Amino acid sequence: MRTKHIGERVPRREGGLKVSGRARYVDDWTLTGALYGVTVRSPVARGIIRQIGYPAGTPWEQFTIVTAADIPGSNSVANLEKDQPFLAVDRVQHAEQAILLLAHPNKSLLEKARRAVSLDIEHLPAVLSLESSLAQEQVVWGHNNVFKELKIEKGNVDGVLNNAPVIVEGEYWTGAQEQLYLETNGMIAVANPKEGVTVWGSMQCPYFVHKALMELFSLPMEKVRVVQMETGGAFGGKEDYPSVLAGHAALLAWKSGKPVKMVYDRGEDMAATTKRHPSRTQHRTVVDRNGKLLAMDIDFAIDGGGHMTLSPIVLSRGSIHAAGPYYCPNIRIHGRAVATNTPPHGAFRGFGAPQSLFALERHMDKVARTVGLSPVEFRRRNFIRQGESTATGQRIRESIQMEKLLHRALKETNYEKKVRLFAKQNLKAKVKKGMGVSCFFHGAGFTGSGEKRLASVVAVEATEQGKLRVLASITELGQGAVTIFTQIAADALGISGQDIEVAQADTAFVPDSGPTVASRTCMIVGKILESACIELKQTLIQNGLLKERYTSNAFRAACKKYVKQHGQLKSFAQYQQPSHIQWDDEKHEGDAYGTMAWAIYIAEVSVDLSTYEIRVDDFLALQEIGKVMNPLLAEGQIIGGVVQGIGYTLHENVIWNKGRMVNNRITDYIIPTSMDVPPVRVIFEENPYEFGPSGAKGIGELPLDGVAPAIVNAIESATGAAINRIPVTPEVLLEAMENTNE
């Protein structure tokens, strides 16, 4: 058998349904007799609920009303900690917190009723910024506002600082970012004590929702069913929040006895759901006179919002990535996730790494200038190499190629020549040009022992028609999971992709394969799928129904015959952690990831000093991701991530007022349009990873990590402005230019 699918530009399996309009999303579905549901939310950031009023003039008896008192089980969302209620009881911890739910068959009357509910809330002092939380101006969570604190230590940083030849300090800030998926959050629920709870919805992680509903209703697992419907994008924004919305829809269905549909409009989705964590990173870096890194002292803090949700894990990944793809013998990283009274922040593509890597790569340019080296030469001298160790002490086992990647990226962009040319032209030009580089990595899969704890399972089964059906809870979000799984299964079995079916992610039928997050779908779950396919094939061979060498027709015939003779043919496989991975959760020490993907990004920008408009003219994204499974999908992932990164860097500015997002419309929250996107040149280098299917690594999050520092480094190259925060709006650039000229 030979590979026929992996490495090929196989079209999306679900693409035809989507482009033809035949794909059905939550809002396309209607159940007979269904009610519509809405949420009544807190208008204040922090306070005590004194009274909920239902003023005359509204026929309240026609409405289903749910408060915390109606919850049959646990009023806490199943997550890392149980500090987030489904519905507020006596106090609110953040603006937009859910207080009560309403349902009615008429949408118009429902909206009028939502606005008619009166909330008497005694305001309490609120913490509305990362700075004030760190300063403990008010304590709004625990005894010090700290959700999670961690330290990563390697070597003796203090000893080096006391005898430092050169110390370079810097402070860097990043803002919130909205995921802005095309389809807003939506759920449909049917629920009653006899039959249990079933929800259909737009989500990333069906088993996260399943667990949350079990606890909310105190039901056994077999009485809860969660079905992922066609999902119009997520980017992390539908990882943990769907548990909240599913719970709300199910509570209304439970009390009313009727199906309930809840779909947020864009304004509510943007205002109430999670975003990327704002961050502040402080660097103290020691180098010798030749530009070799001696010590890195990093303080990394993120704003978690009103509840913990996933902040400790975001903090962990951001902290682990904070020292980047460089070798330094002495590293100390102090990480904190702190509480504020904004809506909770959560998962977003990159998961903490874009924040810490922005700070690192901006700081590396600053250190390079301090010691009189070019940004490129400084990085070249400090790249980590095979056999050396990362900040967590993880020894690099694979043959990494950062110098090779850098050399190719510089050549592809004509970097050195352009830098010299732009420097000359900028002396007189009003529109100045610059080039910027970022070098980075992204760990694939859950951190440390996370994958071992998940113990993910995938199944495959032969059908009566002779096809193979893949059973996994991994969800298709537009990233191409169904297509990649088809390619992996087809090549593992040596059959046509047309003979592969990928089942809908439905907890009644598919095993728990873990969440669709952390760049793990292909590398981790795909490898489990590969193992399950091989086991099923061996069963057919051992039963004398299939020879070692066979055709697709022979495979179909063997499956049909087995099912007819023996009944169900199903093969399960479970994740097996490679023996070399050793991790200490308490110390954050050891092998943080099975492997990393490595990248060099180069941005070319123009800066108009009449309008302070910044344009990205050209962008090169060069990365080593193991084996490229599907070049078409891989290129799409990289281009999409770069475009999202351009928005994060230049345009996307969440504006808060007393803890509420006030620009919660697409007209006010600016993202790049097609006119703002430069040519994005995508280049892959292959270095197969032993424990990935056909050598593949994770790819989904990688491209967002390196965009912002490459662009801002290019802006400084063009203007000399030492910018330390994103987004770089014209106002931010103007202020930086004024500070530079003082």
Both 235 and 356 in one domain: the answer is no
Both 229 and 311 in one domain: the answer is no
560 lies in a domain?
Answer: yes
Left if phi > 0, otherwise alpha if psi is -120 to 50, otherwise beta: which for 678? beta
- Cα separation, 408 vs 414, in Å, equals 10
171 lies in a domain?
Answer: no
Mean pLDDT of the chain: 97
pTM: 0.97
352 lies in a domain?
Answer: yes
**For residue 156, what are the CA distances in angstroms to 98, 160, 282, 328?**
48, 7, 18, 11
Number of domain units in the chain: 3
476 lies in a domain?
Answer: yes
Q: What is the pLDDT of residues 629-675, one digit of tens each?
A: 999 999 999 999 999 999 999 999 999 999 999 999 999 999 999 99
Which three-class secondary structure state does DSSP give residue 308?
coil
DSSP assignment letter at 721:
-
- Cα separation, 556 vs 565, in Å, equals 14
Query: What is the rounded average pLDDT of the residues 513-525?
Result: 97
Spatial contact of 26 and 186, defined as CB atoms under 8 Å apart: yes
Give the model's pLDDT for residue 4.
Answer: 83
- Report the share of the chain in percent with pLDDT over 90: 98
pLDDT greater than 70 at residue 481: yes
| CATH number, position 523 | 3.30.365.10
Both 466 and 440 in one domain: the answer is no
Both 19 and 39 in one domain: the answer is no
pLDDT greater than 80 at residue 621: yes
H helix runs in 257-303, sequence order: 266-272
Both 525 and 424 in one domain: the answer is no
Both 563 and 685 in one domain: the answer is no
DSSP β-bridge partners for residue 338: 146, 303
Give the model's pLDDT for residue 323.
Answer: 98
pLDDT band per the 50, 70, 90 thresholds, residue 270: very high
Orientation angle between helical segments 481-493 and 526-542, nearest 10 degrees: 30
pLDDT greater than 60 at residue 3: no
pLDDT greater than 80 at residue 57: yes
Q: What is the pLDDT of residues 423-449, one digit of tens each?
A: 999 999 999 999 999 999 999 999 999
Gyration radius of the chain over CA positions: 26
Both 237 and 384 in one domain: the answer is no
Give the model's pLDDT for residue 190.
Answer: 98
645 lies in a domain?
Answer: yes
Give the model's pLDDT for residue 52.
Answer: 98
Q: What is the pLDDT of residues 79-110, one digit of tens each?
A: 999 999 999 999 999 999 999 999 999 999 99
User: Which of 234, 263, 292 is a domain's end point?
Assistant: 263
138 lies in a domain?
Answer: no
Tokens of 151: 């330290």
Both 245 and 290 in one domain: the answer is no
**If DSSP states are collapsed to H, E and C, what string results for 149-192?**
EEEEEECCHHHHHCCCCEEEEEEEEECCECCCCCCCCEEEEEEE
For 219, counting Cβ atoms within 10 Å of its Cβ (0-12 exposed, 13-18 middle, 19+ buried), the class is middle
Displacement of CA 556 from its chain's centroid (Å): 39
Q: What is the pLDDT of residues 552-601, one digit of tens each?
A: 999 999 999 999 999 999 999 999 999 989 999 989 999 999 999 999 99
CA 622, 628, 634, 637 torsion-angle sign: negative
Give the model's pLDDT for residue 740.
Answer: 80
pLDDT greater than 70 at residue 708: yes
Residues shown for the chain: 742
Both 19 and 49 in one domain: the answer is no
Spatial contact of 546 and 558, defined as CB atoms under 8 Å apart: yes
Give the model's pLDDT for residue 739.
Answer: 87
Which three-class secondary structure state does DSSP give residue 489?
helix
Range of the structural domain that residue 418 is part of: 279-447+586-741
Both 197 and 333 in one domain: the answer is no
DSSP assignment letter at 612:
T
| CATH number, position 250 | 3.90.1170.50
Amino acid at the residue 574: Q
9 lies in a domain?
Answer: no
pLDDT band per the 50, 70, 90 thresholds, residue 186: very high
Question: Pairing relation of β-strands 660-661 and 596-608?
Answer: unpaired
User: Which of 553, 574, 595 is a domain's end point?
Assistant: 574
Both 335 and 462 in one domain: the answer is no
Give the model's pLDDT for residue 742.
Answer: 63
- Cα separation, 364 vs 170, in Å, equals 10
Q: What is the pLDDT of residues 337-354, one digit of tens each?
A: 999 999 999 999 999 999
Both 603 and 697 in one domain: the answer is yes
Query: What is the rounded average pLDDT of the residues 191-210?
Result: 98
First-to-last alpha carbon distance for the chain, in angstroms, is 69
User: Which of 263, 291, 315 is a domain's end point?
Assistant: 263
H helix runs in 606-676, sequence order: 631-646
- Cα separation, 592 vs 285, in Å, equals 23
Give the model's pLDDT for residue 1.
Answer: 45
154 lies in a domain?
Answer: no
